[in-house]
Amino acid sequence: MSSDLPPAPGDDAPPTLPLLYCDAQLVVVVKPPGLLVHRTALDAHEQRAALQLVRDQIGAPVWPVHRLDKGTSGVLAFALDPDTARHLGAQFESGVPRKAYLALVRGWPAAEGVVDHPLARDPERPSAGQPLLAARTRYERLARVEWPFATDARHPASRYALLQVFPESGRRHQIRRHMKHVAHPLIGDATHGKGAHNRAVAAWLQVQRLWLHALSLELVHPATGTPLRFEALPDVDWRALLAQGSWQWDAPRPAWAGAAG
């Protein structure tokens, strides 16, 4: 099973997150799956969150400038002062940062596509009465697989695909909601996915998690104006995933995926 946090260097030492970048204004880390970005009343039993871990790790207060869902792993940025937080927050609000994700979805989508579908602001409230906000997501299919288990009586095997996904707006749960909208929900998504597929894949892989990873983030440094790019390689779960079955690659197999099986 996946570990919620990376191993600590000692029994009594607090867990640390891999550090991608740190200066006087900005710190960028790799968030593991299962970790909140910040504490919330909606998940009150969780005592640890990335914000507190990074604060303790670098010995300075930090401010969140964007969010990843609890189940999502990958690149996560924090500001080190309120002015930087406002500047970066405005970048994210205007869509300046470029983001790329890896996602495992049900079925075999087209080789590439765009989901241009407005979304209500809060996915956890009834959509009726909420204004719809413009939302656009682009995706490219990287690989396909058929695994030898059934999730319904019509098919003896089940098909899945690995996608690279590029959200061009920043609505809450946007990738998860958009892929559900086109009938290719994310695996491991308990809210917007399909329970039968989530359970079957978890049993097949012996890993239970949301299969969504923030692979890269490009933004403009708030103080210098320098373009920055950060990348978080997928963790061991993803490499184990790609070792299962005969994957058909629609794009060059990335080095992190390991040798073909």
Q: Active-site positions?
A: 69
Contact 53, 45 (CB under 8 A): no
If we measure between CA atoms, which residue out of 91, 80, 33 comes closest to residue 57? Answer: 80
Give backbone dihedrals phi and psi of 147, rounded to 5 degrees, phi first.
Answer: -100, 145
Query: To which residue do tokens 């993803």 refer?
Result: 238
Query: How far is residue 34's CA from residue 5's CA, in Å, rounded to a whole number?
Result: 8
Paired tokens of 47: 């005592």
- Long-range contacts made by residues 186-189, C-beta under 8 angstroms, separation at least 24? 186/103, 186/104, 186/105, 186/210, 186/211, 186/212, 187/104, 187/105, 187/106, 187/160, 187/211, 188/71, 188/104, 188/212, 189/71
